[in-house]
Structure 1
Amino acid sequence: MLTARQQEIWQYLAEYVDDHGYPPTVREIGDAVGLASPSTVHAHLANLERAGLLHRDPTKPRAIELVGRRKAVADEHSRQTTPTLPLVGRIAAGAPLLAEETIEDRVAVPEPLGRGADFLLRVSGESMIEAGILDGDIVVVSRQPDARDGDIVVALVGDDESADEATVKTFRRDPGGRVRLQPENSALQPLYPDHVQILGKVTGVFRSLQ
């Protein structure tokens, strides 16, 4: 399934080829969809290639062959009929969680996985592998300011209220009342941060198998 950004790039490629008879350059693609970084454009093109929608020759500047128009049309129909959730990038303390500048993309999340959810977050690292959450997975999160013992949460942690390190961990409260953020990886130690701001509860997870 294509993300909104990938669909936008795909549509631009198809329209450009129809109009000109040859594909655009990476710079032209970036200018058209508002991406200043060529590496970001290359990453989206690589995802489209893995999805079987195009083929690239890295030795040539315009060597992009569109090979999957039927699949793209099907994915666009699916995206239009499936609710989307914002994929949040870097989370900072004090900033609105779903402010425009924090949203990297919008991703279609089918029911029931997306039911009651508010945002998505890409996981970095292997601290939750024993809970089935792997590096690069996208977790589905329902916003809430607190958690019950055993909930998997997204939280900002640090020494004080300026904490801006987002983490995905299992929420635990020790007998003395101290909050413990427990990794689900037997090789790692739990976190006992001085400040914890719960952003939401993880309600689901999905990954690309490409």
Structure 2
Amino acid sequence: MYEDLNQRERDVLFYLIQQIQLKGYPPTVREICQQLNIKSTSTVHGSLEKLEIKGYIKKDPTKPRAIEILNNSEDVFLNKKKTVDIPIVGQVSAGAPILAFENIEDTYPLPIEFAQDRNLFILKIVGESMINAGILDGDFVIIEKRDFAKNGDKVLALIGEDSTVKTFYKEKDGFRLQPENDFMEPIYVKDLKILGVVVGLYRKM
């Protein structure tokens, strides 16, 4: 199952399933863009159309948020044999940078198809500097461990001994870590280390 989906289609499908199970209704197209770091809403619309054509979802054209999950897709979240436990490795500030704890506090099951062969871990957000991106205080962000990112990615960055989640931009004379909060200023640094890129999010209700 899911062999006919590319990675983006899988990410969109699993995010739909996750949010419907957590909230009882699907996310908006813009929310999907924010959580999956997709810049264009037309890209999400295209993925939704392909998911419908391939029989994974059914949309109601008269109701923008009405999406029904088909083909037993939700089983991927309910069947433990199809999940892998991802470590939750403490907290990271989304306000003033603080050092993230390296100890594993807990685990959270994610679909094998979502995890693929990616090196994932989860961090809890403390603070409100990413609220415009839909990342709220107390949310859990799913991070793919890697040391590179492109402009616009939401990253976990290490500045000295402190870590923080911000939107990443490479500038002429260094780097800009941009908070997604109108009342907070960007952080400019000459040097930093990227610990990972945010690829998903879940919220405890």
TM-score by length of 2: 0.52
Unaligned runs of 5+ in 2: 1-77, 93-99
User: Would you say 1:199 and 2:200 are equivalent positions?
Assistant: no
Letter in 2 for 1:184: E
In 2, Cα distance between equivalents of 1:177 and 1:118: 31
User: Take 2:204 and 2:112, find their aligned partners in 1: how far apart are those partners?
Assistant: 17
Work out the CA distance in 2 between the residues paired with 1:206 and 1:112. Answer: 17
Distance of 2:142 and 2:173 partners within structure 1? 28
Q: Give the SS at the match of 2:152.
A: coil
Counterpart CA distance in 2 for 1:165 and 1:171 is: 16
Residue of 167, 179, 183 corresponding to 2:164: 167
**1:95-106 counterparts in 2 under 5 A?**
102-106=103-107
Change (3 A) 1:204 1:90: closer
- The alignment of Structure 1 onto Structure 2 pairs a total of residues equal to 121
Residue 178 of structure 1 is matched in structure 2 by: 174
Q: C-alpha distance in 2, partners of 1:81/1:110?
A: 6
Q: Provide Cα deviations, 1:19-78, integer angstroms capped at 9, x if missing partner.
A: xxxxxxxxxxxxxxxxxxxxxxxxxxxxxxxxxxxxxxxxxxxxxxxxxxxxxxxxxx85
Quote how far apart the aligned CAs of 1:82 are: 2.0
Question: 1:132-151 residue pairs with structure 2 within 5 A?
Answer: 132-151=134-153
Q: Percent identity?
A: 41
Q: Which amino acid aligns with 1:85?
A: I
Indicate how the Cα distance of structure 1 residues 132 and 106 shifts in structure 2: closer, same or farther if over 3 A, else same. same
Task: Give the structure with the larger strand fraction.
Answer: 2
Contact 2:174 2:190 in 1 (8 A): no
User: In structure 1, the residue corresponding to 2:126 is in which secondary structure?
Assistant: coil
TM-score by length of structure 1 reads: 0.51
Distance 1:110 1:145, change over 3 A: same
Q: Distance in 2 between matches of 1:145 and 1:195?
A: 13
- Larger-gyration structure (1/2): 1
Q: 1:203 to 1:117 in 2, by over 3 A?
A: farther
Q: 1:90 to 1:102 in 2, by over 3 A?
A: farther
CA distance in 2, matches of 1:104, 1:166: 18
